[in-house]
Amino acid sequence: MKNFKLVHEEVLPSGSVYVLYNEKKNFYVECTSMQDVNTKNKSLEVLTTKDTATIKSNLVPIEDKWLMAISTQYGCPERCKFCLVPSLPFKGNLSYEDMWEELDFIIGQRPEVTKCSKVKVGFARMGEPQFNWKNILHVMKDMKDHKEGFTFLPCYNTILPKVNIDGCGPLETFKHVMEVKEYLNGFMHVQLSINSTNEDQRKVLFGGVDVVTLDEIKKNFNNLKNSNRLITLNFICGKDWEVDPEVLQDLNPEIFCVKLTPLNINPATKEHKLQDSIKWSWDNMNSIKEKLIGYGVPTIVDIAAMCELDLCCGNLVQQKYFDIESRDHLILKQKEVIEQL
């Protein structure tokens, strides 16, 4: 590798989390290579097991689906209360070359895999994509013809913060995202992090950041040209986080779907006293889904296997390589870097 070197690999039953070090930046990033654990219609045992044999017997073949996640920033300027990454310093964006180096490194770890019908790549291990949208969309476009036998499904996951980057605010940036989706024949996953239908609660969960509201999403995106895959509005289901179907009923079902996921409990959620409302139960998840039925927007439930969440974003970098400074000092440093973007 040109800009990174591998300094740690954490092996999980479903794959690996890698820590890469950039000497020039004097900073670490994380990227992941996983196989999907097939939890659909499976018992609680598969959802919660730590038994390696059980997990491996329920893995989706990697030729059918390969899950990757790369970092897009050195840390993250945002301060979402359910994420560990804000406790790290923030040192700016990864370049186009940096992100391709992560991807080619991941692919190179499995040389026996010569084809894959769905290489799902999340651009969200560490970082908020809106701050680095140009480089990210450049990488996504070039995925179209990158490797023979591999079909890439890039995933643009964002909280849609109200920031102006490279002359574009979030609404204009999102239109560029949709143009790339069209270029990829719709084979691109676009996910907006929502988490609550109450805007005041959303702002608290996102650490005080102003984000594009649901009303603004409806007004500006309800008539977008969209093909192949619906835009996902992701709701992490925390205890007492509002999911009001009446707020969602005006969304265009030909553009949007709602996804419900559990809250991953980690040191950040514990610090902020956030609790999961799902507790690895299909019944609890479906009870929320049933409230949304009849309001017009397709709703998906997605309970990942607990084994996939042993290491949440930023955990390895935080635990192994940093003496964490005070949050106030880190927030000041983050603001200084943001002003330079």
**pLDDT tens string 20-36:** 999 999 899 999 999 98
Q: Give the single-character DSSP code of 82.
A: T
Report H helices in the chain: 44-48, 52-57, 96-108, 133-142, 170-183, 199-205, 214-221, 245-248, 267-271, 282-292, 315-321, 327-340
| CB 282 within 8 Å of CB 330 | no
Lowest mean pLDDT among 20-24, 155-159, 179-183, 285-289: 285-289
Q: Is the pLDDT of residue 329 over 50?
A: no
Strands 5-12 and 15-22: antiparallel
**pLDDT tens string 239-275:** 999 999 999 999 999 999 999 998 988 888 899 999 9
Q: Is the pLDDT of residue 286 over 60?
A: yes
CATH number at residue 226: 3.20.20.70
The pLDDT assigned to 320 comes to 64
Radius of gyration of the chain (CA): 19
Place of tokens 């964002």: 158
| CB 105 within 8 Å of CB 6 | yes
The pLDDT assigned to 49 comes to 76
User: Of 216 and 52, which is predicted with more confidence?
Assistant: 216
Q: Angle at CA 18, nearest 5°, toward 145 and 151? A: 20
The pLDDT assigned to 322 comes to 59
Per-residue confidence band for 42, with pLDDT thresholds at 50, 70 and 90:
low
Domain total in the chain: 1
State if pTM tops 0.75. yes
- Mean pLDDT for the stretch of residues 3-20: 92
- Mean pLDDT for the stretch of residues 123-135: 96
User: Of 311 and 32, which is predicted with more confidence?
Assistant: 32
Lowest mean pLDDT among 173-177, 256-260, 318-322, 337-341: 337-341
User: Of 265 and 187, which is predicted with more confidence?
Assistant: 187
The pLDDT assigned to 325 comes to 42
Q: Is the pLDDT of residue 340 over 60?
A: no
- Mean pLDDT for the stretch of residues 185-199: 97
The pLDDT assigned to 39 comes to 73
Which residue segment(s) compose the domain that 316 sits in?
5-340
Q: Is the pLDDT of residue 341 over 70?
A: no
Lowest mean pLDDT among 192-206, 236-250, 252-266, 318-332: 318-332
Per-residue confidence band for 333, with pLDDT thresholds at 50, 70 and 90:
very low
